[in-house]
Structure 1
Amino acid sequence: MTQTFALIGAAGYIAPRHMKAIKETENNLIAALDPSDSVGIIDSYFPQARFFTEFERFDRHIDKLRRRGDCVDYVSICSPNYLHDAHCRFALRSGAHAICEKPLVLNPWNIDGLREIEKQTGRKIYSILQLRLHPAIIALKEKVAANPNEIYDVDLSYITSRGKWYHVSWKGADEKSGGIATNIGVHFYDMLGFIFGPLQQNQVHIRTGERAAGYLEFKQARVRWFLSVDQADLPHQVRGQQPTFRSITINGDEIEFSGGFTNLHTDSYTHILEGGGFGLEEAQTSIELVSTIRSLPITPHLGEHHPLTYSHT
């Protein structure tokens, strides 16, 4: 049976992946909201979808559908990070399930409130944690689980070049995005916990508007991590050739998972629609981790350092 969707944040970078996922799972987007009207991408997927630039009119439309018995089944949330909590609440109070981009919320205590609304409404909130569905990540998790006494040495490097616009937008405001570690790193932290088990230690070596770095210990891994939106941090071998560098090494061996990203949002939607999906419990661990990274004192000389930190400490 075809499911109906509404989408909040239609002009954002990630929204087309959600539109594509709704289309490829043979469902229907009937309404979309964004303060910006630069949403021509909708024509490629759902040209008949109603579009709103004001939340109040969008709210009225969704409520009118609900009152006449045509309640939207799901609300997909691609809005700025600090609005995810409110938009999840809106979805459930409108009688719909929520499918929310990461990070689900900025603060772990917000999850407690969402859990209460789930109980009150009987609706569910799903977080997009697509790396858990990547075949290479699943294979690695199985390998680690088969060797429960082994501790792995992991280096995580993620540099994704952003222009001056980034710091002017909501993404450059820590109170709205959660900072670098939350905005571009939360799905990697979720992946690490998914593979290597509970977190045991957390140290922060760098935390600025452009980059963050630190050290994590999980049950089965020691992790040195470095994240950046500054193209100057790109390795020399890729600088000028590609804007993004993503690397994870385990015991010195590179884990190749660059391929297979294209369809992970569609896979996530399929997983949810078939009765799976990752809910509040799965999202909570990484939200707690990034919240701690924001509040920890910076200790640049403590613990094991990622090699890329030495030019910044």
Structure 2
Amino acid sequence: MKKFAIIGAAGYIAPRHMKAIKETGNTLVAALDPYDGIGIMDSNFPEANFFTEFERFDRFVDKWSRKNGCKIDFISICSPNYLHDSHIRFALKSGADVICEKPLVLNPWNIEQLEEIEKETGKKTNNIFQLRLHPSMVALKQKVQNELKVNPSKVYDIDLTYLTSRGKWYFVSWKGDMSKSGGIATNIGVHFYDMLCWIFGDVIENVVHLKTPYTNAGGLILKHANVRWFLSVNQNYLPLKVKLAGQTTFRSIVVDGEEIEFSGGFADLHTRSYEEILKGNGFGLSEAYSSVETVSTIRNLAPIGLNGEYHPFCKKVIAKTYI
């Protein structure tokens, strides 16, 4: 049984981590969050120590690890994006391995510094890249690998669309602050860029067509794919059939005209991620580099408008047509 601590226990994603800790037969000994309304812990780890101040959490981790050979094996990080770098550093220096939510960090140079701390401490940072474990994405990767063996120069045409409705609260929270979340492409898109690079190769060219508070859209040229992508938290851009079905999220990947179904299958992917990490098969710092560099570049690029190969949903934004 491994002993875990969690930073960011009251966040949206934290319950999936608690569930994964429990379902893999491990225990949570401490949790930290400045917000104290986390009754979710009662159905998972009611005996876990809880702190609302980092200083007291820090002291507990240090004292507890010195007592009778106790040791916190992993610290799971579910805090706001801009704090990940600092919290990973704390965890590694505390002698724990790390499991960190995406995005790992906001900028690629942070990864280089974390690599130095890993060398100093002998501990490892693991990313949650659940799309690499999604059955549809695993099957797509295998299909692409088989086709590239036959035709090594093949280049695929891809449309990636992800819309997930968010209310006004989103822009009042840290997620609406570019300096804290990294913006739309970072906050809701980083795992898609990871998946694309994992399957189709590194980024060669990166352009942005649109940037609004609600929407980012652009294009990527990868080693084996030309990608048009569209990400938004504005429910008005949902396809009509999705709205009529009462759904608030739309995920679509079209590869050479073929829709890849992956709307479901997400419920257990955090537990699967933990299972692989505990077996030593986690995705480390180097594997996060491409996606972090991609979103960092997107954040700093000026949009070029509807020029070149842009995603068809861009017209909804320009025309403000909600169909």
TM-score, shorter chain, exceeding 0.5: yes
How many pairs are equivalent? Answer: 312
Residue equivalent to 1:122: 122
Residue equivalent to 2:20: 21
Residue equivalent to 2:101: 101
Matches of 2:243 and 2:134, distance apart in 1: 27
Residue equivalent to 2:204: 200
- Write the letter of the residue equivalent to 1:310: K
Residue equivalent to 1:71: 71
Q: Give the 3-state SS of the residue equivalent to 1:36 in structure 2.
A: coil
- Write the letter of the residue equivalent to 2:39: G
Q: What per-residue deviation string (whole Å, max 9, x for no partner) do you get for residues 48-105 of structure 1?
A: 1111111111111001012223120000000000000000001011110010000000
Residue equivalent to 1:285: 290
Aligned counterpart in structure 2 of residue 306 of structure 1, from 303, 308, 311: 311
Contact 2:103 2:190 in 1 (8 A): yes
Residue equivalent to 2:50: 51
Deviation at residue 259 of structure 1 after TM alignment: 2.3
Residue equivalent to 2:281: 276
Contact 2:103 2:292 in 1 (8 A): yes
Deviation at residue 150 of structure 1 after TM alignment: 2.0
Residue equivalent to 2:131: 131
Q: What per-residue deviation string (whole Å, max 9, x for no partner) do you get for residues 116-160 of structure 1?
A: 100000000111011111121111111111122321111111110
Deviation at residue 306 of structure 1 after TM alignment: 0.5
Q: What per-residue deviation string (whole Å, max 9, x for no partner) do you get for residues 249-299 of structure 1?
A: 111111011222111100100001001100001001100000000111211
Residue equivalent to 1:10: 9
Deviation at residue 219 of structure 1 after TM alignment: 1.1
Deviation at residue 207 of structure 1 after TM alignment: 1.3
Matches of 2:140 and 2:243, distance apart in 1: 29
Residue equivalent to 2:156: 152
Contact 2:250 2:263 in 1 (8 A): no
Matches of 2:228 and 2:112, distance apart in 1: 30
Deviation at residue 303 of structure 1 after TM alignment: 2.1
Contact 1:203 1:303 in 2 (8 A): no
Q: Give the 3-state SS of the residue equivalent to 2:283 in structure 1.
A: coil
Matches of 1:303 and 1:147, distance apart in 2: 28
Contact 1:71 1:94 in 2 (8 A): no
Matches of 1:301 and 1:127, distance apart in 2: 34
Deviation at residue 46 of structure 1 after TM alignment: 0.7
Contact 2:2 2:26 in 1 (8 A): yes
Q: Give the 3-state SS of the residue equivalent to 1:311 in structure 2.
A: helix
Is 1:227 the counterpart of 2:231? The answer is yes
Identity rate of aligned residues, in percent? 64
Deviation at residue 302 of structure 1 after TM alignment: 3.0
Matches of 1:141 and 1:296, distance apart in 2: 29
TM-score (norm 1): 0.98
Is 1:40 the counterpart of 2:45? The answer is no
- Say which is worse superposed, 35-44 or 173-182, in terms of deviation: 35-44
Matches of 1:281 and 1:137, distance apart in 2: 20
Residue equivalent to 1:163: 167
TM-score (norm 2): 0.95
- Write the letter of the residue equivalent to 2:257: G
Residue equivalent to 1:142: 142
Residue equivalent to 1:248: 253
Contact 1:89 1:117 in 2 (8 A): yes
- Write the letter of the residue equivalent to 1:270: E
Deviation at residue 214 of structure 1 after TM alignment: 0.3
Matches of 1:190 and 1:94, distance apart in 2: 28
Residue equivalent to 1:60: 59
Matches of 2:25 and 2:78, distance apart in 1: 20
Matches of 1:209 and 1:44, distance apart in 2: 37
The runs of 4+ residues in structure 1 deviating greater than 2 Å are none
Structure 1 residue ranges without an equivalent (≥5): none
- Write the letter of the residue equivalent to 2:146: A
Deviation at residue 312 of structure 1 after TM alignment: 2.4
Deviation at residue 311 of structure 1 after TM alignment: 2.9
